[in-house]
Amino acid sequence: MSTFLVGMSSFLSLRKPCISTFIFRRAYYLFIHLHSFSFYAILRKNYKYYIMSCYSQILREFVMRIDLLRPVWHPLTWLAFIALPFIGPHLPLYFGWESGPFELFQAFILFIGGCVSFYIVFRPKPDISLSLANAVPKALLLAITFIWWFMCLRELSWGAVFLSPLGFDPIEGYKFSAHEQLPYYTAIHIVCGILAFFSFLAIIRCRYYLLAYWKVRRFPLPEVILAVVMQLFATTAEGHLLPLSSLWLAVGVPPQIVEEWCELLSYLSLLVGQIIFLFNRR
C-alpha cells in the first residue's frame, strides 16, 4: 500500500509542486515530500537518484521534528532509572561485568556519537549567511569526535577486553588491565595527550561560537545535566561518592548492574543532546 501511495504522489506532483503523503496508516505518520523531479527520475529509470531524493526528504523531515526528542527522551530516561529496582534483580550478573553486554553497548553508543560528529565534518558547507549560532566549525566537531572515541576506547580498556583475561571473580567477572596486558600502553598516554591538547586549543578557538550557542539556548544543557546526574548515580552505586551500594543490594540489585545501567543512560543522553545540537537550528 505504501508503494502505491508513493507512486501516486509522484504522478500527482506534475500538478502540484509539493505533495505530502502518508506512509504509515495507523498511529504514526511519516510525511515525505516528493517533488516533480521524482517522476522524471522514474521515467528515465534513474531509480538510484529517486531513492536518494526520497532519503533526503525523509532526513529533512526528521530534522524538522528534532525538537520532539527532548520531551520524549527525558521522561523515558527517568522511567528507565525508576524501573531498575524492578528489572535489576532479574538481570544476569554478567550484564554488569567489565566486558558484559552493558559495557559493550556503552562502547557502541560512544562510537556512534563520534561517527555522527565526524560525519558532520565532511557534510557540504552550510550557507555563508548562517550566523555563529547556526554554524558549527570543523575544529569543534573534531574535538567532539575525539572526546567520544576517547571514552569509547577507555570503556574497552584500550583493547584489553579483547585479550585473554588476567583472572576471574564470580561477582565482578573477568579482570583486564591495560597497563599489564598492552605493550603500547605508554604510547596511549602520549597520543591522547597530544590530541587532548589540540582539542583544547580548538575549543578555545571556537569560544565565540560556544557563547553564541549559549545565548540562543542551542547548547544541549538539559541533556548534559541529565548525563551528569546519571553519572553521579553510577558513582554512588560504585561506592566512591556516597556509600549507597548497600541500599541497592537491599532491593536486590547488584551495584555493578546499577553502575553500568546509569552509565548507559548517561551516554545515551549525551548522544541525544548532540543530535539536538547538530541538527536543530535556532
Mean pLDDT, the chain, integer: 75
8 A C-beta contact, residue 35 and residue 18 = yes
Encode burial over 262-279: b for 16+ CB neighbours within 10 A, e otherwise: bbbbbbbbbbbbbbbbbe
Q: What is the pLDDT of residue 149?
A: 94
The grid cell for 140 is 569543534
Q: What is the pLDDT of residue 270?
A: 93
Determine if the pTM surpasses 0.75: no
Q: What is the pLDDT of residue 175?
A: 83
Q: What is the pLDDT of residue 229?
A: 92
Cβ partners under 8 Å of residue 159, min gap 6? 153, 178, 182
pLDDT digits (tens, 9 = 90+) for 114-164: 999 998 887 755 444 445 556 788 888 999 999 999 999 998 888 888 888
8 A C-beta contact, residue 134 and residue 282 = yes
Longest CA–CA separation in the chain, Å: 71
Residue 265 above 90 pLDDT? yes
Encode burial over 86-96: b for 16+ CB neighbours within 10 A, e otherwise: eebeebeeebb
Higher model confidence: residue 1 or residue 179? 179
pLDDT digits (tens, 9 = 90+) for 214-235: 888 888 888 999 999 999 888 8
Percentage above 70 pLDDT, the chain: 68
Q: What is the pLDDT of residue 255?
A: 83
Residue 277 above 50 pLDDT? yes
Q: What is the pLDDT of residue 56?
A: 56
Which is nearest to 149 in space by CA: 110, 104, 101?
110
Of 20-34, 89-103, 225-239, the least confident: 20-34
pLDDT digits (tens, 9 = 90+) for 43-82: 554 555 556 556 556 655 555 566 677 788 888 999 999 9
Strands (E), the chain: 19-22, 31-34, 167-169, 173-175
The continuous run of DSSP H or E covering 43 comes out as helix 36-43
Percentage above 90 pLDDT, the chain: 22
Q: What is the pLDDT of residue 181?
A: 82
